[in-house]
Amino acid sequence: MNQIILSKDEIFEKFGKNKEHAKQVEQYAEKIFDALNSKIINYTEKEKKYLKTAAYLHDVGYYIEKKSHHKHTLKIIMENGLKDFDEEEKKIIANIARYHRSSFPNQEKHKHFAELNETQKEIVTKLGAILRIADGMDKPSKNLILRIEAEETPETINFYIKTIGFKPKLDMAKEKSDLFEKVFNKPLNFIFI
């Protein structure tokens, strides 16, 4: 029996709940990716597409259960496929979405992460770190961030954030920057401009 492979939108329509949050996190993830790319990371449009897809689908696991929704998100993506992506790309996207909260990628404990090759693991870890921050940015501050620029100094990585005027609290984004700081081995600062 052939499996029906769903598109990103079809998966969201079937399992997703909060489309506004999904789209906003996708936009913030893209802004962070663009701010970092060619300065701190060097990825292509392909990796950007992985991140945007994972960001859009990151919460579909709520369909099954709130507590472990990140794990259920991975399962939903793995079981429903993703049109426009091959099997390896689907695994990367599912893992990026899985790491938007809670534990860090762990080769010994997480079977789906362990199955990836070293290049794929690096992509998942870095893009998962970006997704965590993007998700945290949307918690208290709906649609307030217009632009993000990034700068790496010898001591830190700085995100310069332009808002619509109101300066949102980024407590959740700061809290969710733990994986980013581990991956890039520097503290992350949020600076309003």
**Per-residue pLDDT for 84 more than 90?**
yes
Q: What tens digit of pLDDT does each residue of 93-106 get?
A: 999 999 998 889 98
Task: State the sign of the Cα–Cα–Cα–Cα dihedral 120, 126, 129, 130.
Answer: negative
Q: What is the distance of C-alpha 89 from the center of its chain?
A: 15
Whole-structure pTM value: 0.95
Pairing relation of β-strands 188-192 and 157-163?
Answer: parallel
Write down the domain spans for the chain: 8-142
Q: Which of 18-22, 70-74, 135-139 has the lowest mean pLDDT?
A: 135-139
Q: Which neighbouring-strand residues pair with 45?
A: none
Choose among 111, 106, 101: nearest CA to 59: 101
Q: What tens digit of pLDDT does each residue of 23-42 get?
A: 999 999 999 999 999 999 99
Q: So what's the pLDDT on residue 1? A: 44
Q: So what's the pLDDT on residue 142? A: 64
Fold (CATH) for 8-142: Hypothetical protein af1432 (1.10.3210)
